[in-house]
Amino acid sequence: MLEWYQGNEIALWWLAASTIITFLATLIAVPILAVRIPADYFSHNKRQAIPWAHRHPAVRAMLLIGKNALGYILIVAGIVMLALPGQGILAILIGIMLLNFPGKFRLERWIITRRPVIRSINWLRQRAKRAPLVLDE
């Protein structure tokens, strides 16, 4: 086993560096994104209109691709952070919120109703002097 570590020393350093970078990035990004969620985001039964729906189709496509790419990155980073240091559950939640897929809103509402998730997000929102998330109308 020691030989394997010595043979893959460069890969292990890259893994350690990427873990540290991911950890630091989520420490910054996840609270910012959690605080930016509108307080009534989960209280409506239907999805609200997309803010950039009125833009040119090429701009909409670029924004959609960028938003989904960021969502996938956050989900992968969140899964990694479940085993490594970081805010894994919150990163996965924010990543899912950025993706577009059928049934997403229902899944978001189910995840956000889990006690540790809503408690963590509302704690972050309280520290930022934002209203807590409202789950029911």
Report if residue 137 sits inside a domain: no
Can you give the pTM of this predicted structure?
A: 0.58
Check if the beta carbon of residue 25 is closer than 8 Å to that of residue 85: no
Tens of pLDDT, residues 40-61:
888 877 666 666 667 788 888 8
Tens of pLDDT, residues 4-28:
777 778 877 887 787 788 778 878 8
Report if residue 13 sits inside a domain: no
Instruction: Determine the pLDDT at residue 47.
Output: 66
Which residue in 39, 46, 43, 45 sits closest to 133, CA to CA?
39
Report if residue 111 sits inside a domain: yes
With b for 16 or more beta-carbon neighbours within 10 A and e for fewer, the 18-36 pattern comes to ebeebbeebeebbbebbee
Check if the beta carbon of residue 88 is closer than 8 Å to that of residue 78: yes
- When divided into structural domains, the chain yields a total of 1
Domain that holds residue 32: 23-43+50-127
Which residue in 114, 99, 89, 72 sits closest to 30, CA to CA?
89
3-state secondary structure of 8: coil
